[in-house]
Structure formats: structure tokens, C-alpha cells
Structure 1
Amino acid sequence: MRAGIGTLRKRLVIVLFALAAVFLALIGRLAYIQLIQAPWLTEKAEDLWRRNIPVEPKRGVITDRTGEVLAYNGSSPTVVAIPSQIKDKQAAAESLAKTLGVKSQDILSKISKRTLLVYVMPGGRKIDEEKAKAVRNLKLPGIYITEEGKRNYPLETLAAHILGFSGIDNQGLTGLEAWYDSRLRGKAGSISFFANAKGERMPNENDTYTPPVNGQNLKLTIDKEISTFVQREVQNVVANYNPDGVMVIVADPKTGEILAMENYPTFNPSKYKEYPQEVFNRNLTIWKTFEPGSTFKIVTLAAALEEKKVNLNEKFFDPGYYEVAGRRIRCWKAGGHGSETILEVVENSCNPGFMMMGQRLGKEKLFEYIRKFGFGQKTGIDMPGEGNGILFKLNRVGPLELATTSFGQGVSVTPIQQVMAVSAIANGGLLMQPHVAKEWTDPETGNVVETIQPKVQRRVVSEETAKTVRETLESVVAQGTGKNAFREGYRIGGKTGTAQVASPGGGYKSGHYIVSFVGMAPVDDPRLVAYIAVDNPKAGVVFGGTIAAPVIGNILADSLHYLGVPARKNGIPREYKYGDIVPVEVPQVAGLSLEEGQRAMIQNAANLRVETVGSGKYIVAQAPTAGTKVPPGSTLRIYLSDQPVP
């Protein structure tokens, strides 16, 4: 049955309305895409077309506490290539090779890779400005110049293990460069351009430059001048004793700030590839663990005084040994020290006296104090590679282990642990957390972003006990085993250490010792704590008092003088024995005529050599100043002028 005209018309109208609806939907969809989705689609398209050439940020500058630059980034141009944009690769390789002074085949192999972007190596990374200008003048399609940072360490080996170094890709690899990498590195920028699927540059499109965000600048607690004093002393120890290793730390006991930290062997961070990996990867002052020897006796003494197990005036008899669990453990002095006070036990570093203290304390109480002082755990210093040290487990401590621990044998500690433990005595009984970062600043504005505040870990002994221990340690330096650290007017307190090195297979290595000394000054208000350990010195007499003590005496005296700390006149006087070198006092000659000065020196009989600077008949200045005590035969420098001092 055929449909009528009316029916066909209805069907046609329906189809037309359907087509109109579809057409309107398409127009609506097109409008939505063109008007609403256009920014989003454009962004997606641009993401597909965009190619980025990275621009490195400048790594943050590292300075010492006074602003002396220790590490900085120099801007270095680097050649990069977009292989797909280079039509004649052979010609481009030859031109670049001639300009950069390398083989063309090496460059051709790089720019022929099927990749978006390559560094033109060898020869094109971190080049000088002259070569960069020459490359720009070639105007080669697909060849670009970007900027990379080249890390420089202007003071070479100074504080090398603290700083560490960064690699060619601006990444921190060791030391603080690695520990604070994210803050020092910053955020990379880019040079952007549009390219098609083949990587060919799109015409009539401009490059977009997104600047990098430079890394923050870091000011350290380290003091360059004090570090220089330390470095000088380390070099002297190496020259005189040819040791396997040397570790020195100088700290501010009140804040936990590390003022100097030097090691031997050391390295130059700018040339780290020239050194063995074990040298630059190991910061011995925080990594190396060893038996401390007698410097550890400070902890035993502090615990015994705090618990009132001893007092400095009571008597003790040392027959030359102490019997423990059926064994005789001998004193370092053959025949012993005989009758002595507890003060003299400390002055003489008498092992039997300290074993007695350990026995009175008991293992639970002694090890409680050892842990309170921070041993057996990391100090939390802001550097990688810190060691824990090793302590006996309490259930394995018998009478013999208790006795040896009390004088520093059988336990294993790090230099930084010892420095912070003695700092707790120096500051009145508070264990501080050590740190080397002092302040972060914005590289653009110079504004301070963060200041690192001192952090108290806990109280370990009372102020009274700490004061008593400090005064006892001053007596050790003035009248005991630490005499070689004595410096007139500086009130140095300290303790010697001589420890045989344990063998991995058990027992001890014959003839292998680590000698050490830890000191603080001035004892009445300590500004500095300094520690040195010398591993395996090759010397006739291997004792901490003869090798290590003079080093700390020099470091503390020079550092306190540099810091402007006035000399003290109320310290314990040095006790001199037959054979000791007695210092002489420098006479007052500045302000006198040359004739009067010569007469004064003759009358003084100070046995000083005189060196004149300038000419004239009046002495206008002198060095050292009057009243300074120096070894006999030292040089007195006098400055002459034709005019008297006004």
C-alpha cells in the first residue's frame, strides 16, 4: 500500500528537523570547542609542539661565618644540539670541531642521534666565553648555547670534607653539597621553541625564555681564620710524624657551632677526580670510630662527681695495677703513682684510679652517663656519613668490661661525639646538637630566609659538677700530663689520650696507636673546645701529651687571640720540672729610645733574639707585646723611627 502525499510530507519534515537538530548540535559543539575549549586545546597542542632547552640555575654560594666565599658557581656556556634541525650534519660537525678543538667524528656521532636534544661533547660543555662567541658566530641551525654552572672552591683544601663537591650536572655528590642539595641547587629554567613531529622548527614562532630560580645561599658556622690555624697545625703534624690520618675539630661549646673541621688525607673539591674515592667520601671527624683512650676519662670523672662517688681531695693508692675478676690491669706508668688524691689521679691519667671510679658507679650508672653524654648514637650533625660508635650491651658488661670502659678501652667513639661530650662540660652541663649551617639567604634580595638556632639535647650533669671538671682539667694542663698544651694567660683545660688500635680479628695491633688531646679555653668561661686525633704517628715516643697536646695549645691560643678574648691572670700556674723549657717574659721596649731599649733587654736577661724593622733611634712598636711569655730564643721584633712615640 503506497503512502499518501500527506504522509510523505510529514516524514520529510521529520527528517528536515532531525537534520537541523544534528546541524545545530554540530554548530554548538564547534562553538564549544572554539570558544570554551580553545585555551585548553591550544595548551595541549603547544605542549606537543614545545621543545625545551634546559637552563641551569646558579647553585647557591657557600660562605664562612664572616662572609668569606668557600664555594660559588661561575657561569659557563654549554653547546647543545637539536639533531632534527641540522640538515648538513657533516658540515656542522666539521665547523664545530674546528671551533671547539676536537675531532669532527666525535661530534658527528652525537648530533646524528635520533633524540630531541644532546650536549655537544666532548669539548662543548662548560666552555669559555671566547669559544661560546665563536660558536654563536657560526650561526648553525639546530646549534644552541645554554648556560651551566661550574662550581669553584677558591680556598682549595680548606674545609674540603665539610663542603664536599657537586658534579657536572649541578648535583651535590658529597658533604654539604649533597646534604643540602635541594636548597643549594634551585630550580631549572628553559629556552622553549615550537617544532613539528619530526623535530623541525616551526616558522614564525619566537623562543620563550623561562628564567631559572637560583639556589639559596648558605652561610656556615665555619670560621676561615680558625680553619687556617687548624690546617697549619695538621700540616705540621703530617710533616713531623707521617701519620696515617689526622682529625681536628674546633667548636663553640655554647651553641654547638662547628668553627673548624679538618682531616688528613684531604683533597681539593675542584679536582676531586684526582683523588681516591675513600679520601673524599670519608669525613673522618664524623665517620671514623676508634677506642678513645684517656680522653674518655672525662665522662667517668663527671659521672663519679655527679653521683658523689668521689671527691677530689680523697686519697687513692696506685700500686701500678688494679685487680679485676682475677686479672691485673696495669697502669701506664710502671710501678704506679703511689699515694695520690683523686685530683692527682686525673692529672696523672692514672688508670687504676679510674677503674675504681667505674667500680663505685657500677655498670648501670656508668653506661647511663655514657649514653647521656651522646655516645653510642649519632650526634645529628647536618652532614652525611656520621658514625654511631659502638658500646657494650649492658647484659654483656662484666667486671672486666666495666673496668676497661672506665678508662676508655673497649668502647668505640667518633671525634664529633667526643667534642660534643666535652662541650657539655664546657658549657655547664648541656649536651648540644652540633651543626655547620648557620644561615640561609635569598640569592636575589639577600634577605635571611632561615637562621639555624642552637639546639639543646639534654642536661647531662649539673653546673657545679661541670665547673669542678673544668677546673680539674685546667690542673691537668698546668700540672699534669697535658702540660704541652699550656699557654700563659689562656687558662686551657684538657685531657690527653693514647689508645692502641683494635685489630679486626681480636686483640690489638702492635705499635699502632691513636694519640689525642681534647681541650677547652678559657676554663672560667669556655669559648672554644678543640680536639685532635693522630692515627699511627711514626715517632719515638707516642703519647697524646707529646704529640697532640701542643697542637691544641697552639690552636686555642691563636684562635682566642683572633677572637679578641682577653688573657686571664688568675689561672693555675704551670708547674715546671727539670728539663722543661721555661718561657721568658718579653720586656717593655716600645716608647723607649733604641739605646734605652737595648739596656732594658740586657737588664731583663730574657735571652731573646732581636729583629729590627725600619731605621731610626726610637722604638715605636714591638712584637710580641710586653708581658707576653715566649720560649727562650724567640724573636722580638722592634720597629724603629726617627720620631719618638707621641
Structure 2
Amino acid sequence: MNERKYLVDRVVTRRRILACLLLMFFIFILLSVRVAYIMVVKGPEYKAMATEQWTSRVKIDAKRGRILDTNYKELAISGNVYRVDLDLNTIKSYINTYNYDNPNNTIDMEYIAIKIGEALEMDSFEVLKKLESKLPNGKDMQSAILARRIEKEKVDKLKDLNITGVLVSSDTMRYYPNNDFLAHVLGVTNSDGKGLTGVEYVYNDVLQGKPGVRLVEIDRNSKDLAYTISEYSKPEVGKDVVLTIDENIQAFAEQAAKQALSDNGAKAVTIVVMNPKTGEVLALVNKPDYDLNNPRDKALTFEELQKTWRNRAVSDTFEPGSIFKIITAIAALEEGVVNESMSFSCGGSTVVGGRTIKCWRTSGHGSQNFSDIIKNSCNMGFIQLGQKLGKEKLQKYIDLFGFGNKSGIDLPGEASGIIKPLKSINDTDLATIAFGQTNTVNTMQFMAAFNAVANGGTWITPHILKEVSHIDEKGETIIDSKFSKGKEIRTVSEEQTAILRKFLERVVVEGSAKNTFIDGYHIAGKTGTAQKVINGVYGSGKYISSFVGMAPADNPQITLMVTIDEPNPGMYYAGLVAAPAAKQVFYNIFNYLGIKGDTSLEETTRSLLKDVIIPDVRGMSTGEAIDILKKEGLVYNIEGEGSFIVDVSPKPGYTIKEGDRVNLYLGNDTNYNKDIVLPDFTGYSKETAIAVLKKLNLTADFQGEGWITVQSVEPEAFVQEGAVIKFILNDEIGD
């Protein structure tokens, strides 16, 4: 019995031991799995949590590269400043420790916020919001960025507070030395230094460099521990972007655009200057613009801000008007459907596809040759030219010159323009396309096409980048890369472009662009005044006036385009508003580049002076006459004796230059000479013409609306004081 019980107890014991062993083995397996899970799966996470507790990791932003002009003058730079971060847990511990050590003088978050706000000149309420930052789930945040780009003086005041948990590290701030200069090209960055618009955006990866990291062990008060191993990777400074922009030429364009905006009461002005042989943009300005150092005007809505930042030279499209006649003309020359002696007839209007289309000169230009229709910008002549070409051939050159596609300029936001598909073009469309209606273009797109005419027939991708460089440890400039050659497409022949340039020079010497003429220089160009399309229809009294030009005409080194958006309705004719702006830019560039003219400096300088129509001061007292002449900027000689002016030489109505001398003859005879030389009023608005006629003691009979296209007496003919001059006005597009 006892033996049996012993055996049973032994079996039970063994079973218990086995069960315990199995249980222990199972527990061991569970522990092993758990340890493996913690070490392998959760290890990196726990390591990161531990590291976060006993280390301070600060990202060190790289200094952004500079933006330089073609002569390496600084246009955008980055200055050394500081950023302030908040370790919120440490700040709470600091408050608790301080209050424990100073029971009679306790502090709280509001106190800390006030002190930090005073040091950094920030609103203490905003600082407090950062100190009490919450996660979306309502829990306290561990850290927060308080401020970026803080100057050293403010940071020194903050450090003097000795608040643990307030972390200061290096930062950079973008600065533009010239404020609004080249604003739409340079663009802006956001609060983190990332490019948002312009060159800052397109070449952000080049400019931004690579950030560094500073990792050190800290104590419970977030202070660095002495003699501990730190990890530090130095930030890589961003590389410099060198532009094709020439700061001096840009300054000329900036001043001319500002003046044109003011003089013409315009909505906007755009001026682009290029090297037609390389596609380099030498200047690009849009007015109005904005201050790059203060680009976010708080008074503006987001939509208004985007409009302010928009680069109109690449983003805005418009019907080009008569400047497009250059493309029609070169297409006709290249296809051999026209020659210099070919005759064109203009009766002032024609019917195409059931629609009556008028020339800007409603009385007609009569019979003209090919050169004449370009000089006169005759719509009828170009309709006939378009018909000779046919829609297939005209469309061929529209495509070949890049219209309907982005030019490829290395600036953001470029629009493609709208080109009517070949299959949709009817006879009326062919007629209007030939003289610049229906299709739309952007300024840079048109300049790329115009450059091909200037350089002998090669379409070249326009570009703003010259090269990327950096300064090495020895202080030497190292060029990392140059602009990779864009597209170069042979469009037309050198021979035909040379012929067209000769005809375009006539436009400047004799035609609508004569306000661009500079004595001694050979400038070729074309004006265009187009009705502005607003919401799919032509806006009443709203125009876009343009001039495109090149110089010297036989071998152009410079191309230029001036576009004036919605000039004053009283005077919107491109020859009167866009051409003068181009003239000043051209002359400044000639002097800067050392391009010599054919005449003496005195003759060239004289041609730049303002034209003045001599007013009729006969019958006035000497004092009255002198006052009027002084207001016109004229000087005078007085000859004879008498109570009033009886004659003037040159005669009233003649156009002379500001500063020229007028001879005044005194007498007492009321039966004096009353001859007046009638000026050329072509392109004048009714209001402008009335003002001039008043000075000449003439009156007018106006027919129609728009600008003057026909006058009843030819320019430079003599009329008598008090004569009535009949004028025909027209608002059809032309020059």
C-alpha cells in the first residue's frame, strides 16, 4: 500500500515538474519573443525616444546661394540671423524648479511669454500661444518653433534671460539689396526659405544647399553636457545662380517702364530686352511691381497677391495686333509669294466671308508696294498677303515660330497662348490672323519669334540663366555648370530676314514708329495697337499698345519690346505711347554698350529732345507770348518795337525741338501775317488734337471715334488762323 502510494506520488511529482518546466519554457519563449520584438521591431523607436530625452537635435539650415547679374553684381543674398525654438517640457520643468527654489517669487507661462516678447519685440500673447501649443488630439506639444530670422541684438537679449528650454540656433534671411528691382524675375521665398516664384522657385534646388545637423547630449535643464560626444554635420551653402540680366540695362528698362506707366495712366507696362543671337534676356521689367523685401502686403487678398507676383511677360497673353504683321511678311517672303515691287490696293475696307473689315485708315492707302504696306501697316495689304499665302502656309510659319507653345523660358507660369486650329480657320479668320487678330501670344513668345528675324532666321530658346557657380575655400569662383543650350531651329533664310529688316527700318524713319528714331542710329521696328479682349469680347476703349524693335538694323545686337496695357483712352496709339519709351531705352543701351552712331554726338543728342509744336502767339503782348513759350520749353529772340507780336519765325504749327529758339517780331499793325503750318495729327485722340488746335487758333470738325486717321489738309500745308480742319477718327486696330 505504501509502495503504491509512493509510486503514485512520484508520478504526480514528475508530472508537476514537467508542467512547471513546460510553463517555464513557454514563459521563456514569450520573454524571448518579447525581447526580440522590443530589440528588433520597436528598438529604433525606443532608441529615438531615449535619444530625444537626453540629446538635443537641431537642424541647421544652409545659407541660400546668391543670385547675381551677368557681371556678378548681387541681386539676392542671404544674411546670417537666428531662429528660436521652444522645448516645452523643459520650460515647464524650468518653471517648477524656479518656483521650488524661489517660493516667494514664483513665475508662470504668462510671465515667461512677457519676458520673451520684450526681448524679441514680439506680441506676448502670440508667444503665450506658442508656449501653450496643443496637438490636434488636445495633448500638449513637446516643442514649437517660436521665431525665424531674428537679428543678433534681439537674440542677445533673449539669452540674457537664461530661460532653459529656449533654444537658439543659426538661421538665414533672404535680402534683396535693390528692393523692387527685377522683382518678377527674382521672385520670393517662403518663411522656410523655399522659393515660391521667379528664379527663387525655378532654381530652388540649386540655391537652397543642404541643411546640417547638430546633435549633443543635454542634462535635465536642456544644457549641453561637457565632455560628451556630439554629432555635427556642416550645412552645405547653396550655389550661386548667375543670370543673363545686365543690371545696368535692367535699370534703363525699369526707369522707362516707370515713366511710361505714369505718363500714360496705364494699367501695366512690360519691357523686355534681349540678345537675339543667344536668346539671353538682358532685362525684363513689369510695372507695377512690389518690394521683394516686403512682398506680402497685408492689405492684399491671396488672389490680389498672386496677381501682384505674376510675371506678365510670360503669364499674360494678348492679341498682338500689327506687330504680328512681321510674321506674315517674313512668311510671304520665304514662300516667294511677294516681292518688293508687288502692288497692293487699299480702299479703306473690304468684305471677307460676309464680314466688312476696315483698315485703320478708313479713307484707304491707295496703291502701295510691299514695303509700303509694312511702313503704313495697311490692314488691307496684309489681308491680301494672307490670301496669297493661304491658311496652310501661314499656319506653317505660326507653328515654326513657336506660337501656341511655351517658349521654354526658365521662369514659372508661362502661358502657351491660343492659336486657332487649321481646320477651324475660315476666310475671315485668315484675313484677321494675317494682321494680328484672333490668335493670342505672350511677350516672351513673341520676342523669341522676333529674335529669329533679327538674327538671320534661327529660333532660339530664350533663357535667364547664365551659369551656376560657387566660391571655394580659397575664395575663388568655381563655375559648376553653364546654361545648357536650348533649342535652335532654322525657320527662315538670312536673305529674306535682311530684306524685311530693311523695310522695318522704314517704319522707324518714316512710319508709325518714328518716335523711336534716333539720328545716326539704324533701328528697325514695328508698332501695334490692338483692342484688348476681356471675357471673350473686345473691351470698349481698352487697348494694348506695343512696339518691337532691333538695332543696329543690319546686324542686330539688341532686341526690345515695350507693351503698354490699357493706356489712357485719350492717347493709346502705340506710336505715341510705346515708341517713345523704346527710344530712351535704346539710346541708353547704345551709350552703355559703346555702339556708335553715323552722326555727331550733337546731332544724336538733338534727335532725343522732345518735339514741340510752335504755338500761335501773334496778337499777344510780349509778356503773354514769353510765358507760353517758356511753358513749351522754347527760348526766344525779340526784334522790332511795338505793343504786340505780329509775326513768328518759324511759323506756328512747325515742329521743332525743346530748347530751340523762336524769333518774335513786335509791331502795332493788326493786319499781320496769319499763316499756320498744319501739323500731322495722325494717331492723335480727339482730346489731344483739340488741345493742339487751341494753341494754333484753329478749330476742328471730327467724324467718328478713336484716333485720327485722316485730316482734310495735308501735314505741313499752310492754313489761315481760325480755319476749320476736318478729321476722320477710327477705332479699328492698326498702329
The answer for the alignment partner of 1:448 in structure 2 is: 479
Q: Do the aligned partners of residues 465 and 146 (structure 1) sit closer, same or farther apart at CA in structure 2, a change above 3 Å counting?
A: same
Residue 406 of structure 1 and its aligned partner are, at CA, apart by: 0.1
Q: Does 1:53 align with 2:58?
A: yes
Change (3 A) 1:335 1:359: same
SS of 2:148's equivalent in the other structure is coil
1:277 aligns with 2:310: no
Q: Which amino acid aligns with 1:220?
A: L
Partner residue, 1:190: 213
Q: How far has the Cα of 1:127 moved from its partner? A: 2.1
| 2:296 partner SS | helix
Q: Which residue of 1 aligns with 2:509?
A: 478
> Which stretch of the first structure deviates more once superposed, 56-65 or 558-567?
558-567
Task: Give the match for residue 544 of structure 1.
Answer: 574
- CA 1:131–1:481: 2 relative to 1, 3 Å: same
Query: SS in structure 2 opposite 1:423?
Result: helix
Matches within 5 A, 1:221-260: 221-260=244-283
Go from structure 1 to structure 2 and tell me whether the alpha carbon gap of 1:256 and 1:388 turns closer, same or farther (over 3 Å shift): same
CA apart distance, 1:503: 3.6
Displacement of 1:456 after TM fit?
Answer: 3.2
Asked if residue 384 in structure 1 is aligned to residue 412 in structure 2, the reply is yes
CA RMSD of the aligned region, Å? 4.2
Tell me how far 1:509 sits from its aligned partner: 1.6
Q: Does 1:115 align with 2:138?
A: no
Q: SS of the residue aligned with 2:351?
A: strand
Q: 1:262-286 deviations in whole A, cap 9, x for unaligned?
A: 1122111111112641443311111
Aligned CA distance change for structure 1 residues 424 and 569 (closer, same or farther; 3 Å): farther
Cα distance in 2 for partners of 1:277, 1:41 equals 43
Q: d(CA) in 2 for partners of 1:376 and 1:634?
A: 50
- Give 1:45-124 correspondences, 5 Å limit: 50-86=55-91, 87-88=94-95, 89=109, 92-113=112-133, 114-120=140-146, 124=147
Structure number with greater Rg is: 2
CA separation in 2, counterparts of 1:582 and 1:463?
40
Amino acid of the structure 1 residue aligned with 2:148:
R
CA distance in 2, matches of 1:190, 1:431: 48
Query: In 2, distance between residues paired with 1:101 and 1:480?
Result: 62
Q: Residues 265 and 279 of structure 1 are in contact (CA less than 8 Å); yes or no, is this contact kept in structure 2?
A: no
Choose from 360, 365, 370 the match for 1:342.
370
- Greater Cα shift, 231-240 or 98-107: 98-107
Residue 11 of structure 1: aligned partner: none
Return the alpha-carbon distance in structure 2 between the equivalents of residues 316 and 246 of structure 1.
35
Offset at 1:289?
Answer: 0.7
The alpha-carbon distance between structure 1 residues 180 and 327, as it changes in their structure 2 partners (threshold 3 A), is same
Percent of aligned pairs with the same residue? 35
Instruction: Report the Cα distance in structure 1 between the residues aligned to 2:45 and 2:127, rounded to whole angstroms.
Output: 39
1:346 Cα deviation after fit: 0.5
Corresponding residue of 1:526: 556
Q: Confirm whether residue 491 of structure 1 aligns to residue 519 of structure 2.
A: no
Alpha-carbon contact 1:84-1:199 (below 8 Å) kept: no
| Corresponding position of 1:586 | none
Alignment length (residue pairs) = 579
1:238 Cα deviation from its structure 2 partner: 1.6
**Residues 324/257 of structure 1: CA separation in 2 closer, same or farther (3 Å cut):** same
Partner in structure 1 of residue 665 of structure 2: none
Q: Render the CA deviation track for 1:580-604: whole Å, top value 9, x for unaligned.
A: 9599xxxxxxxxxxxxxxxxxxxxx
Return the match for 1:131 from 141, 154, 168.
154
CA distance in 1 between partners of 2:221 and 2:660 (Å):
76
Residues 117/236 of structure 1: CA separation in 2 closer, same or farther (3 Å cut): same
Rate the CA distance shift 1:142–1:327 in 2: closer, same or farther, 3 A: closer
Q: Note closer, same or farther for the CA distance 1:497–1:105 as it changes in structure 2 (3 Å cut).
A: closer
The CA deviation at 1:429 is: 0.5
Counterpart in 1 of 2:692?
Answer: none
Give the distance between the partners of 1:209 and 1:318, measured in 2 at CA: 79
Matched residues in 1 for 2:440 and 2:123: separation? 55
Offset at residue 337 of structure 1 (A): 1.0
Displacement of 1:94 in angstroms is 4.3
Query: Secondary structure of the equivalent of 1:53?
Result: strand
- The correspondence for 1:266, drawn from 289, 293, 302, is 289
2:713 paired residue number: none
Contact 1:250 1:530 in 2 (8 A): yes
Q: Secondary structure at the match of 2:333?
A: helix
TM-score, normalised via structure 1 length: 0.80
The structural deviation recorded for 1:370 is: 0.6
| Paired residue type of 1:465 | Q
Equivalent residue number for residue 659 of structure 2: 633
Query: For residues 202 and 245 of structure 1, what CA distance do their matches in structure 2 show?
Result: 57
Q: Shift of residue 220 of structure 1?
A: 0.6
AA in 1 matched with 2:85: V
Corresponding position: 1:463 with 2:494: yes
AA in 2 matched with 1:348: N
1:103 deviates by: 5.0
Question: Residues 268, 328 of structure 1: CA spacing in aligned structure 2 closer, same or farther, 3 A cutoff?
Answer: same
CA distance in 2, matches of 1:44, 1:334: 82
SS in 2 for 1:304: helix
Give 1:93 shift: 3.5
Separation of aligned partners in 1, 2:154 and 2:64: 23
Q: What is the SS of the residue equivalent to 1:349?
A: coil
Decide whether the 8 Å contact of 1:93 with 1:108 is kept in 2.
yes
Change (3 A) 1:384 1:215: same
For 2:518, give the aligned amino acid: R
Q: 1:48 to 1:469 in 2, by over 3 A?
A: same
> Are the counterparts in 2 of residues 515 and 542 from structure 1 also a CA contact under 8 Å?
yes
Give the CA deviation at 1:454: 3.9
Change over 3 Å in CA distance of 1:503–1:569 after alignment to 2: same
Contact 1:286–1:415 (Cα < 8 Å) also in 2:
yes
Distance 1:509 1:203 in 2: 72
**Partners of 1:200 and 1:261 in 2: CA distance:** 51
Scaled by the length of structure 2, what TM-score is found?
Answer: 0.71
Partners of 1:485 and 1:432 lie apart in 2 by: 26
Please state how far the C-alpha of 1:484 moved relative to its aligned partner. 1.1
Supply the AA of the counterpart residue of 2:88. P
1:426 aligned residue: 454
1:284-320 per-position Cα deviation (integer Å, ceiling 9, x unaligned)? 1111111100000000000000000001122222222
Pair 1:80–1:97, CA change in 2 (3 A):
same
- C-alpha distance 505-259 of structure 1, shift in aligned 2 (>3 A): closer
Q: Is the 8 A contact 1:377 1:388 kept in 2?
A: yes
- Distance in 2 (CA, whole Å) between partners of 1:160 and 1:106 is 31
